[in-house]
Structure formats: C-alpha cells, structure tokens
Amino acid sequence: GAVVSQHPSRVICKSGTSVKIECRSLDFQATTMFWYRQFPKKSLMLMATSNEGSKATYEQGVEKDKFLINHASLTLSTLTVTSAHPEDSSFYICSASRSGGLEQFFGPGTRLTVL
C-alpha cells in the first residue's frame, strides 16, 4: 500500500510554455501533499505544502504565481510550472501523507527540461 505516482516521468518543453505535473496517491487518501525540487547532486528542497481543498502554503522564495499548485481531491495534486524557463529545469518530486500521518510517501519524480 501507500503508492504515489507522478505523471509525466519526463518532460521536455520550450521556453515560455507551461507544464503540468500530476501527483496521485493510488491506494490511500492523501490529505496533505508536498512538492519538492531537486537540482543535480543537490538535496530536496520543499517548495510547498498543500492540503486538500485549501490553498497551498509556499516556502520562502518560491514564486506562487510561477508554480501553481492545486490539490482538488484526496488523491490528486498538480503542479503547473507557468512560462517555464531553462532555470526551471529540475527534478520535481511529490509526496503524500494521510490525515494526521507522519510518514510521507514519495512519488518517482518528474524530470523537467526546458529548452
């Protein structure tokens, strides 16, 4: 149990376009989802925390207008990178946790390359 999927696993887009990444909890209800960003050979940096039905809480320095997060259901959260630029190229990882749950279950990640 506790499987989290991400789609797509890999995406290449042109500069200026928007890209949507989906994070799904496949076999449990995820009241909280987290979005992380990881640069090559770097650690995971938390971008935002989203609770189902609420606006996401962004970490300091993360542009909420650029990284739109929607958590409309208990099994799906989406991250949209708007007007992507080459510096947005990164590995994006989501995780999900149950209500009151301590443990985060991580998705396999999405590698975004912006040309």
Residues that bind another protein (CB under 8 A): 32, 34, 41-46, 49, 51, 57, 91, 93, 97, 101-109, 111
52: helix, strand or coil: coil
| Nearest distance in Å: CB 52, another protein | 12
User: In angstroms, how far is CA 102 from the centroid of its own chain?
Assistant: 19
Nearer CB in complex with another protein: 86/100: 100
List C-alpha distances in Å: 43 to 18, 50, 76, 83.
25, 21, 25, 25
| Nearest distance in Å: CB 16, another protein | 26
Nearer CB in complex with another protein: 47/81: 47
62: helix, strand or coil: coil
| Nearest distance in Å: CB 109, another protein | 4
Nearer CB in complex with another protein: 15/99: 99
Closest to 109 measured CA to CA, from 16, 13, 4: 4
User: Which residues lie across from 70 on neighbouring strands?
Assistant: 78
| Nearest distance in Å: CB 41, another protein | 8
